[in-house]
């Protein structure tokens, strides 16, 4: 375990079957408080990489550590709400926006969290340019872009240590996308949140220079970012 | 009451075949291509039921608990195999979960009904135990098949939703609660519906049999009520158990949904 690391991959191999490996012998370190962009060709395993980190997938061999301990040493629900993965396809239940935002608080492993008030939820909706969305609206009537932000907010409410975002701004216009990005930056700056984002977009020059993880050919490597100016 | 039933002799049995011949002729005339199936079906009906008749007579004659339990267990294993054939699922094995849930629920219901409700002495008295157990197994077998088919289908179809909840800190039970209740409901609705329709839309086979055998219809309905209730009861228990046990197998110890979309991982 390297100093200042939060997640370590130790010689991790993965494949959906043993004959067809997706990753072989991946060793890398995610630093605490780092902001990472995960890039690579389609089908290279970017989403799978994130799913390995929150243990939705199990490596065929090797080990993944979170805060120096193997992922398997944490109860899965506790691990997953600390390493929060926001799915590529925003998924909601058939219910109101409020019910969806409060859904995580109904799970027995999350009982120590205090349920956010309507006031807080409304403020968050406004912050994310969802002023027109009411807490009582059925979530299934929202647009894809609205759902993406809703699912993002729902994840933030659990105050995770690590945030895994799978193309979080793919359906957002420029303005809404920037709101999400600046919220990520703010959380990173203020509470040291570690963020890994799968994206096809080039990052805009901002306060934080992201680190780049390239997923290709069965390997994941940290590469030096070359900002084109 | 012993003389109430009219005996069917070999000649009369043969006479009944006229209907099969007529069906065969219709099949030939209209090109339905069902002659072969009709022939095989008729032969199987004769052979299987004759065998059953002799086996039952022999078991009744033995009047011992072990052969009765052997027949009971044989029926359950056979029902499990039929369900396995019907629910086409390669990724999760469920032979043992079904067998276990069937043995538990059918033993419970069959013993309770013959021993306590009907009051047969001893509780395994073959004339009561075997037909009643057979009815329970035959009927709720469909419920198990429907429930499991639905459970696996729902979990596959709503994988995103299950994983969404897992990602937010749900355990596997919480993440699949809705799919589980949908599955159990789907399995139970047919037997609840038949409680609604019984006696109005159809006269159940067992009651028909008892009346033909000369029983008083008012006595026959009592048996039928017991049977209907025990069918619903056993259906509920067996569906619940089977769904819970199979659901457990759909998730790994790390609370990962191991059912995958059908095309990945099977190249």
Structure tokens, A124 = 């968050």
Give the Å distances, CA to CA, from B41 to A191, B18, B47, B49: 74, 15, 10, 12
Note down pLDDT in tens along chain B; length 267 residues: 445 678 888 888 888 899 999 999 999 999 988 889 999 999 999 999 999 999 999 999 998 999 999 999 999 999 999 898 888 887 888 899 999 999 999 999 999 999 988 898 899 999 999 988 998 898 888 899 999 999 999 999 999 999 999 999 999 999 999 999 999 999 999 989 988 988 888 888 888 888 888 889 999 899 889 888 888 999 999 999 999 999 999 999 999 999 887 664 433
Query: What percent of chain A is modeled with pLDDT above 70?
Result: 94
Residue A90 has pLDDT above 90, yes or no: yes
Phi and psi for A34 in degrees, rounded to 5?
Answer: -80, 150
Spell out the residues 6+ positions from residue A82 whose beta carbon is closer than 8 angstroms to its own: A66, A74, A160, A161, A162
Give the Å distances, CA to CA, from B235 to A198, B87, B106, B136, B180: 48, 17, 9, 8, 15
- Closest residue in A to B251 (Cα–Cα): A56
ipTM: 0.93
B200 has a chain A CB within 8 A of its CB = no
Q: Report how far residue A198's alpha carbon sits from residue A46's, in angstroms, rounded to the nearest whole number.
A: 7
Q: Do B254 and A78 touch (CB under 8 A)?
A: no
Q: Do B160 and A104 touch (CB under 8 A)?
A: no
pLDDT (0 to 100) of residue A205: 61
Place of tokens 């550590």: A65
> Are the C-beta atoms of residues B163 and A56 closer than 8 Å to each other?
yes
Per-chain mean pLDDT for chain A: 91
Q: Do A87 and B163 touch (CB under 8 A)?
A: yes
Omega before A92 cis (within 30°)?
Answer: no
Question: What mean pLDDT is predicted for residues A55-81?
Answer: 96
Residue A202 has pLDDT above 80, yes or no: no
Q: Do A16 and B256 touch (CB under 8 A)?
A: no
Structure tokens, A125 = 């909706």
Residue A194 has pLDDT above 50, yes or no: yes
The least confident of A17-21, A32-36, A186-190, B219-223 is A17-21
Query: What percent of chain A is modeled with pLDDT above 90?
Result: 79
User: pLDDT band for position A204 (50/70/90)?
Assistant: low
- Closest residue in B to A101 (Cα–Cα): B168
- Closest to A161 (Cα-Cα) out of A69, A93, A228: A69
Q: Do B169 and A91 touch (CB under 8 A)?
A: no
Residue A215's beta-bridge partner residues?
A220
**Which residues of chain A lie closer than 8 angstroms to B266, CB-CB?**
17
pLDDT (0 to 100) of residue B263: 60
- Closest residue in B to A50 (Cα–Cα): B167
DSSP B203-223: --HHHHHHHHTT--HHHHHHH
B90 has a chain A CB within 8 A of its CB = no
pLDDT (0 to 100) of residue A1: 53
In a mutational test of the B interface, the residue from A15, A87, A91 whose CB has the highest number of chain B CBs within 10 Å is: A91
How close, in Å, is residue A226 to chain B by CA atoms?
Answer: 33
Task: Considering only residues A90 and A227, tell me which one the structure prediction assigns the higher pLDDT.
Answer: A90
pLDDT (0 to 100) of residue B266: 39
pLDDT (0 to 100) of residue B86: 86
Nearest to B168 among A58, A89, A158 (CB): A158
User: pLDDT band for position A100 (50/70/90)?
Assistant: very high
Q: Report how far residue A188's alpha carbon sits from residue B36's, in angstroms, rounded to the nearest whole number.
A: 75
Q: Report how far residue A172's alpha carbon sits from residue B242's, in angstroms, rounded to the nearest whole number.
A: 44
Task: Considering only residues A91 and A19, tell me which one the structure prediction assigns the higher pLDDT.
Answer: A91
């Amino acid at each position: 375990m390297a100093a200042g690391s939060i997640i370590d991959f130790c010689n991790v191999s993965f494949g959906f079957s043993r004959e067809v490996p997706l990753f072989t012998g991946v060793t890398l370190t995610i630093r605490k408080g780092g902001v990472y962009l995960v890039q690579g060709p389609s089908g290279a395993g970017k989403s799978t990489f994130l799913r390995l980190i929150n243990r939705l997938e199990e490596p065929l061999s090797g080990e993944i550590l979170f805060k120096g301990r193997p992922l398997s040493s944490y109860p899965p629900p506790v691990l997953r709400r600390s390493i929060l993965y926001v799915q590529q396809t925003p998924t909601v239940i058939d219910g109101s926006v409020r019910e969806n935002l409060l859904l995580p608080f109904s799970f027995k492993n999350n009982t120590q969290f205090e349920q956010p008030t309507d006031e807080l939820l409304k403020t968050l909706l406004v912050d994310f340019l969802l002023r027109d969305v009411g807490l009582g609206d059925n979530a299934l009537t929202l647009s894809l872009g609205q759902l993406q932000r809703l699912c993002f907010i729902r994840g933030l409410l659990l105050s995770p240590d690590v945030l895994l975002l799978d193309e979080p701004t793919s359906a957002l216009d420029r303005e809404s996308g920037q709101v999400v990005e600046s919220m990520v930056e703010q959380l990173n700056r203020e509470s040291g949140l570690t963020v890994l984002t799968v994206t096809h977009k080039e990052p805009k020059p901002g306060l934080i220079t992201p680190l780049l993880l390239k997923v290709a050919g069965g390997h994941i490597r940290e590469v030096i970012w070359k900002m084109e100016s | 009451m012993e003389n109430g039933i009219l005996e069917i002799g070999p000649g009369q049995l043969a006479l009944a075949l006229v209907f099969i011949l007529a069906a065969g002729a219709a099949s030939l005339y209209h090109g339905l291509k069902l002659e072969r199936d009709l022939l095989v079906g008729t032969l199987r009906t004769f052979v299987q039921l004759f065998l059953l008749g002799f086996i039952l007579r022999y078991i009744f004659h033995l009047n011992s608990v072990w052969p009765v339990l052997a027949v009971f267990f044989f029926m359950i294993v056979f029902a499990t195999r039929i369900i396995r054939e019907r629910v086409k699922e390669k990724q999760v094995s469920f032979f043992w979960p079904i067998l276990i849930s069937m043995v538990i629920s059918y033993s419970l219901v069959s013993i309770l009904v013959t021993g306590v409700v009907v009051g047969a002495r001893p509780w395994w008295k073959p004339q009561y135990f075997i037909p009643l157990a057979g009815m329970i197994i035959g009927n709720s077998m469909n419920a198990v098949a429907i429930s499991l088919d639905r459970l696996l289908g729902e979990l596959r179809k709503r994988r995103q939703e299950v994983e969404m909840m897992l990602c937010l800190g749900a355990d596997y039970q919480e993440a699949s609660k809705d799919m589980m209740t949908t599955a159990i409901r789907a399995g139970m609705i047919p037997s609840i519906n038949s409680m609604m329709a019984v006696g109005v839309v159809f006269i159940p086979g067992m009651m028909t049999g008892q009346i033909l055998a000369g029983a008083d219809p008012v006595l026959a309905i009592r048996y039928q009520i017991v049977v209907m209730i025990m069918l619903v009861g056993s259906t509920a228990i067996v569906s619940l158990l089977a769904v819970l046990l199979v659901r457990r197998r759909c998730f790994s110890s790390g609370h990962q949904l191991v059912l995958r979309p059908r095309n990945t991982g099977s190249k």
